[in-house]
Chains A and B, each alone.
Chain A
Amino acid sequence: MNCPRAATLSSTISLFAASAVAQVQPSGFVEYDNLTYIGSRKEERVNGRNQGILQLDLRHQAAPAAEVFGSLEVRTDQADRARDRVFLDEAYINLYIGAFDVRLGKQIYAWGRADVFNPTDNLSSWDYSDILDIEDEKIGVLSARVEYYLGNWTVEGVLVPSFAPSVLPDTNSRWFPDLPDSLPNAGYAGQGDAYLNASHTYGEAVLPDDGIGSTQYAVRVSGSVRGWDFSLSWFDGYNDLPAVHRAILIDSTLTDAEVFIRQEYHRRQVIGADFATSFGRIGVRGEAAYYLTEDWNGVDPAVDDPYLQYAIGLDYTLKNVFADKDISLLLEWIQEVHVPDRGTTYTITDLTHVFRKSLFGKADFDVGEFAKLTFEGVWNTYAGDWWVRPGLDWSVADGVQLRVALDLLGGPNDSFFGSYRDNRRTQVRLKHSF
């Protein structure tokens, strides 16, 4: 009795599925990426990268006002099989309802108008497993976003029910900080040794609760008036980088110390603003954010005190510099200011506070029609450390890009880039987009 109905249902589903599949627009890329360190080899660390990535993006117009998107990444690294993964980068549905655009699902956010450093961009976390290679390394967060458009104004609200921390370098990574094998004996008074042998133990990271109280929120109002784009934003959520809490246990002979390290993610509120405009041929962009942290009174040395970060940048193109080719220049000044100032200090590898008084520069010089020489770098003026990356980007064929680059780092031992100066390396990356 049910057979004809079942057959009809089955064929209807098949037809619908076939129609849906036919309307899916696949795209993505295949990439080969090789990193070769030219600094000294480090035992028990991964001394290179030899990886391939397949990213498959599927977009489907499910209805005139509804669109589904998914992006899946498959990665394998022959130099470090621990990096092998199958990962859902994004998966969301877009709904277009009158003046409202709604996006629901796992998605990546990019707030802020500055080119290099975006202190207002706090919704998505990052994969920092390679600190110098964060291009396309943002991590999607499960969230709901609603945008309301009214003329030149946009109001955007975001709700993030779950927390996704940034990925930090593994202990076998060359970007995992070298932990000190000795500590000064603070209580040294002729007894024991002036320095203690140190060992380190990592405890379980303390993540925010799964409850509704851990929900993160953000609101942004953006506008464009007479050549100025700007926005004001508010974020109430978690720092995607952990505070490092340490407890030190010294043995009775005053020779050994065991350091217990606990990573904990703390809530903060961020008031942000940005702008972009141009004066003649100079583009000007700026962005600032004030971080209201959990440690307003500055009593916990492991938790950030309140601080302000800002970035202001210029871009300009020098015309016909050589053989009718142009050079595009970009400069950005990044600074961190403590308000109130309590003379806060940070560990040198604290990723939240790398850029405190820093100058970033980038220059692109076209060579021929399909290639450009690139140079980018940053100089932390407060510590004297630096990183530069000269490179060549070549469009080998339609949709095929080759990048050859060199990473150089330097500075004092007790500075961020200086502590990684042995990590100078070459990069060769071939990417075919389809």
Chain B
Amino acid sequence: MDIPKVTFGFALLGLLNVSVWAQEPSGQAVMERHRAQDRTADESAMQTMTLVNSRGGERQRQLTYTTKTDADGERKMIVQFLAPADIAGTGFLSIEHSDRADNRWLYLPALRKTRRIAGSDKTDSFVGSEFTYEDLDSEKLELHRYTLTGSETVDDVDAWVIEAVATDPRRLAETGYSRRELWISKDHYVLIQAKYYDKSGGYSKLFRAGDLRQVPGSEKWRAYRMTMDDVRNGDRTVLEAADYRVNQGVPDRLFTERYLRRRR
């Protein structure tokens, strides 16, 4: 008589295990779903970047960016500033490489020069914002270990909480973070929040994404408002996006020094 009970008990335990697995996939599995959602062959948008200092002072920049990702996940990105007038025409071109440092150039119209900038210094601020070049990189799953640490609701969005730690030696040398905590929405696998911890383990920055919308004509979801707070000094950068376009068949020739200077 007891045997069936035990069997039932094991069977129930087995079901529970299956149920638990179904609700809590591995961190790696969540990130793979996130990457699949995030990755596009190409993408462009207009953005308004607002820099806010701890005393509430604001400076606003308008820019366009276009990215293109190849089959190996290596991404090219071109950013062109439209306003304010003193930086309008400034352009940034980045070409990622998996086997060596990225290529990066900045076009400065006042100097009429394109300047190569160190590609391995991912901890530099991106054009004076709270975002670093590293923050703008596409997520490199093979260079990190992702651990699911829980589940939380952020701004009414249910999300997985993932701890990301760099494991690749070169990435460890490049990164400005000891670890990151990532909140990935359970419905569309969009990064909705991230906490960044500096090399000494201190909590340094908070990223939050809002106004999640499906890009018209595509399956992809994007945040139309993003903020990055430096929690130590109170400075903040707000990015508001418009006119997202994905998979438009952007040509490779756009990601060249020629187009960086030409602005068109």
Interface residues of A (CB under 8 A from B): 27-29, 67, 96, 101, 108-110, 113, 115, 136, 147, 149, 154, 224, 226-227, 229, 276-278, 280-283, 285, 315, 317, 319, 323-324, 326, 368-370, 395, 397-401, 431, 433-434
Minimal beta-carbon separation of B199 from chain A (angstroms): 10
Closest to B232 in A: A324
Contact of A226 with B233 in the complex, beta carbons under 8 Å = no
Contact of B57 with A398 in the complex, beta carbons under 8 Å = no
Whole-angstrom CA separation of A289 from B181 in the bound complex: 52
Contact of B86 with A278 in the complex, beta carbons under 8 Å = no
Minimal beta-carbon separation of B55 from chain A (angstroms): 8
Minimal beta-carbon separation of B19 from chain A (angstroms): 46
**0/1 string, B103-145, CB within 8 A of A gives 1:** 1000000111101111111011100100000000000000000
Contact of A317 with B53 in the complex, beta carbons under 8 Å = no
**A101-B258, A369-B57, A398-B59 in contact; A319/B123 too (CB < 8 A)?**
yes
Contact of B112 with A108 in the complex, beta carbons under 8 Å = yes
Contact of B85 with A434 in the complex, beta carbons under 8 Å = yes
Within 8 A of A (CB), among B86-101: 86, 88, 100-101
Contact of B258 with A154 in the complex, beta carbons under 8 Å = yes
B178 at the interface (CB under 8 A from A): no
B60 at the interface (CB under 8 A from A): yes
Contact of B84 with A398 in the complex, beta carbons under 8 Å = yes
Q: How many residues of B contact A (CB 8 A)?
A: 40
Closest to A115 in B: B115
Whole-angstrom CA separation of A149 from B124 in the bound complex: 31
**A110-B113, A280-B120, A370-B59 in contact; A226/B100 too (CB < 8 A)?**
yes
Q: Which of B86, B112, B125, B235 is most buried by chain A, counting CB atoms within 10 A of its CB?
A: B86
Whole-angstrom CA separation of A398 from B52 in the bound complex: 12
A27-B85, A101-B262 are known; give 16 further A-B pairs, CB within 8 A: A27-B88, A67-B264, A101-B258, A113-B116, A154-B257, A224-B257, A227-B103, A277-B116, A278-B101, A278-B121, A281-B121, A369-B52, A369-B59, A370-B59, A398-B83, A399-B85
Contact of B118 with A280 in the complex, beta carbons under 8 Å = yes
Q: Do most interface residues of chain B lie in helix, strand or loop, or is the interface mixed? A: loop
Whole-angstrom CA separation of A281 from B122 in the bound complex: 9
Whole-angstrom CA separation of A226 from B232 in the bound complex: 38
B230 at the interface (CB under 8 A from A): yes
Whole-angstrom CA separation of A339 from B172 in the bound complex: 48
Whole-angstrom CA separation of A113 from B112 in the bound complex: 11
Minimal beta-carbon separation of A331 from chain B (angstroms): 15
In the complex, how many residue pairs between chain A and chain B have their CB atoms under 8 Å apart?
Answer: 95
Whole-angstrom CA separation of A425 from B162 in the bound complex: 57
Contact of B118 with A282 in the complex, beta carbons under 8 Å = yes
Minimal beta-carbon separation of A118 from chain B (angstroms): 9
Q: Do most interface residues of chain A lie in helix, strand or loop, or is the interface mixed? A: strand
Within 8 A of A (CB), among B188-235: 230, 232-233, 235
Tell me which residues across on chain B come within 8 A of A276, comparing CB atoms. Answer: 115-116
B184 at the interface (CB under 8 A from A): no
Contact of B262 with A227 in the complex, beta carbons under 8 Å = no
B256 at the interface (CB under 8 A from A): yes
Tell me which residues across on chain A come within 8 A of B166, comparing CB atoms. Answer: none
Contact of B86 with A317 in the complex, beta carbons under 8 Å = no
Closest to A369 in B: B53
Say which residue of A110, A226, A395 sits within 8 Å of B112 (CB atoms).
Answer: A110
Q: 30 A-B contacts, Cβ less than 8 Å apart?
A: A27-B88, A28-B85, A29-B85, A101-B258, A101-B262, A113-B116, A227-B119, A229-B116, A276-B115, A278-B101, A278-B117, A278-B118, A278-B119, A278-B121, A281-B121, A283-B116, A315-B118, A317-B124, A319-B176, A323-B233, A368-B53, A370-B51, A370-B57, A370-B59, A398-B84, A399-B86, A401-B86, A433-B85, A433-B86, A433-B88
Minimal beta-carbon separation of A9 from chain B (angstroms): 32
Closest 8 CB pairs between A and B? Answer: A433-B85, A369-B53, A399-B84, A278-B118, A433-B86, A110-B112, A398-B84, A276-B116
Whole-angstrom CA separation of A96 from B110 in the bound complex: 22
Contact of A96 with B51 in the complex, beta carbons under 8 Å = no
Minimal beta-carbon separation of A133 from chain B (angstroms): 15
Tell me which residues across on chain A come within 8 A of B59, comparing CB atoms. Answer: 369-370, 395, 397-398
